[in-house]
Amino acid sequence: MTPRERILAVLQGRTPDRPPLMAITMMLAADQVGVPYGRYVSDYRVLVEAQIATAARFALDYVSCISDPAREAHDLGAAVKFFDNQPPAIDESNALLADKSRLASLRVPDLSAGPGPEAGGRMLDRLRAAALFKRRAGSEYLVEGWVEGPCAEGADLRGLNALMYDFFDDPAFVRGLFGFAVEMELAFARAQAEAGCDIIGVGDAAASLVGPRIYNEFVWPYQKRLVDGIHAIGSRVRLHICGDTRQILEPIGRLACDIVDLDFMVPLADARRRMGPNQVLLGNLDPVRVLKDGTPDGVRAALAACHKAAGPRYILGAGCEIPRGTPPENFLAMAQYAASVRG
């Protein structure tokens, strides 16, 4: 099987030749080709080169457009700080929607230039990455696009702390904000799918910070709208929520995502029990204690335990990004475990 075929087999309920590996790499990928991270997030050609090199070295089964959560917010006019060798950061002290009335004037950025060479914003740079991935690696690897989930994008535009108060103080504003976010992310997802992405990752880390009542009332309906919309354009969905999601596993399971990532503090056995036998799960090695600071034997043992808890509808990965500075032998141990397991 090709790496791409291996992932598709799991998604389609078939048995692959070995478990697929979809570990998130960003800063580590830039380091593989010796470029500062500031170039990785600003030049799609560097990102594509780094992702393909990382997939080849560590036997990953996919390549991804993921880089940072600030692309959409930047193109809307948010204040974003850029660094030479660190991820961009949204300036929450100068939030775009510090004045909530500005929401009414926001418009979805123009993506009509497509993935060609024309100048454009950071969202267009991601489209160009998707198109280049498709040309260079699409027959071998699954190509993943990326968008922000409604809660994450809402926090990027409004400020995380302000958003948490808004759930109680101005529910109508939150619904309007999340509705706009979903509209924009669906347009972005469609453009990435048309450029060549096979699956769309949805990052919604802020959703792990709310309790079940807020999640079910405010977040889940808009996540569901986003997931259903991505499916309607003929693509697949990988949901990635960093943090402790144990209190909201059942509703996450009802989103009908093709893949659900789980962070290291969420036991895979609990997720399997609460999401049912058919949900494809991914994760959930501790990225620091097991991968960065552990040993190859420890990585292989932890993966075996994860695989046993999750069952056959499982994709190997960590709870979040593989940290920069992870020893290569530890990262390679993930592929070694995969190769030791035959379908």
Q: Is residue 45 part of a domain?
A: no
Tell me the pairing of strands 80-81 and 142-148: unpaired
**Contact of 285 with 317, CB cutoff 8 Å:** yes
pLDDT band with cut points at 50, 70 and 90 for residue 112:
confident
pLDDT band with cut points at 50, 70 and 90 for residue 117:
low
- pLDDT score recorded for residue 119: 56
Instruction: Tokens for 100, please give them.
Output: 């909530």
Task: Classify the C-alpha dihedral 192-198-203-208 as positive or negative.
Answer: positive
pLDDT band with cut points at 50, 70 and 90 for residue 114:
low
Where in the sequence is the domain holding 166, given as residue range(s)?
A: 24-40+62-257
Q: At residue 257, what is the residue type?
A: C
Q: What is the pLDDT of residues 287-335, one digit of tens each?
A: 999 999 999 999 999 999 999 999 999 999 999 999 999 999 999 999 9
Q: Which residues pair with 236 in a beta bridge?
A: 199
Mean pLDDT of 176-205: 98
Residue 270 and residue 168: Cα distance in Å, rounded? Answer: 30
Q: What average pLDDT does the structure give for the chain?
A: 96
Closest CA to 156 of 185, 190, 125: 185
Residue 257 and residue 12: Cα distance in Å, rounded? Answer: 13
- pLDDT score recorded for residue 342: 77
Mean pLDDT of 141-164: 98
CATH number (domain holding residue 159) = 3.20.20.210
Q: Is residue 326 part of a domain?
A: no
Mean pLDDT of 130-137: 97
Whether cis (ω within 30° of 0) applies to the bond prior to 284 is: yes
Taking 70 as the threshold, does the pLDDT of residue 189 lie above it? Answer: yes
Taking 90 as the threshold, does the pLDDT of residue 118 lie above it? Answer: no
Q: Is residue 282 part of a domain?
A: no
Mean pLDDT of 168-192: 98
**Phi (first) and psi of residue 78, to 5 degrees:** -65, 155
**Phi (first) and psi of residue 238, to 5 degrees:** -115, 115
Q: Is residue 307 part of a domain?
A: no
Q: At residue 136, what is the residue type?
A: R
pLDDT band with cut points at 50, 70 and 90 for residue 116:
low
Q: Is residue 274 part of a domain?
A: no
Q: Is residue 54 part of a domain?
A: no
List C-alpha distances in Å: 2 to 18, 59, 198, 317. Answer: 11, 11, 15, 18
Number of domains in the chain: 1
Q: What is the pLDDT of residues 256-291, one digit of tens each?
A: 999 999 999 999 999 999 999 999 999 999 999 999
Q: Is residue 280 part of a domain?
A: no
Q: Is residue 231 part of a domain?
A: yes
Taking 60 as the threshold, does the pLDDT of residue 157 lie above it? Answer: yes
% helix / strand / coil in the chain, to the nearest 5?
A: 55, 10, 35
Residue 60 and residue 282: Cα distance in Å, rounded? Answer: 14
pLDDT band with cut points at 50, 70 and 90 for residue 3:
very high
pLDDT band with cut points at 50, 70 and 90 for residue 241:
very high
